[in-house]
Amino acid sequence: MRLQKFLAEAGVASRRAAEKLIRDGHVEVNGATVQELGVKVDPGRDLVSVDGQPVKPRRKLYVALNKPKGFICTRSDPEKRRIITDLLPPEWRNLYPVGRLDHDSEGLIFLTNDGDFALRLTHPRYGTRKYYEATVEGRIEPSQLSRLTEGIVDEGERLRAARVRLVSSSNTRSVVEVELAEGRNREIRRMFKALGHEVTQLKRTQIGRIKLGELRTGKWRTLTEPEIKSLLPKL
């Protein structure tokens, strides 16, 4: 791991500020001052210090949360709306959400302080599948379901579900399971709106192999080691 990244992940400073600390001669590795930015360290073996104070690796945390409606996925909000980190213990308020669920959506979301983990779950090239249950107004016809998987162009973007399944349907409401390989902003709501149906409830039920299960609304749990490994693509 590059030294400046280690310092940033340990909470010493931002990546850019850590680079300045290194260049200015404030950082030592195994007792020797380092001023080159390309130096790599092994957090488990090397002793890193800043101005003589040892720097310990920050414990990496991986949390699954059942987000309620009415909360936004950010660590701060100038409009003083409720944020999902309010649902965590005070000492975990530094965690950040992996991806997003909009204000009116609910369900499974992860929070972490591991930037690599977040990147691998959100970058399109890794293709982490996400599963949703959408309740929409009116009756959904089979021909409309096929349009969701074929793709719909909205606002210049091509929106496409990897898989859909009709759970129930009536003249007033329908429930559809939707699987996405690549999530775009408010994608499911936009797809159904293009078909003439308003989404009245949207819940994310699964990310990769991790299911929402019995986790109650507003509650959280830490991910197990096997769960974490199942979410990381093999390189």
Beta bridge partner(s), residue 82: none
Nearest-angstrom CA–CA distance, 111 and 207:
13
Cα angle for residues 231, 97, 114 (degrees, 5° grid):
55
Q: Could you tell me if 26 and 19 are in contact, meaning their C-beta atoms sit under 8 angstroms apart?
A: no
Concerning whether 102 is annotated as a catalytic residue, the answer is: yes
Catalytic residue, chosen from 102, 104, 114, 116, is 102
Instruction: Annotate 36-65 with three-state secondary structure.
Output: CCCCECCCCCCCEEECCEEECCCCCCEEEE
Distances (CA, A) of 212 to 100, 133, 178, 219: 16, 12, 15, 11
Q: Which residues are catalytic?
A: 102
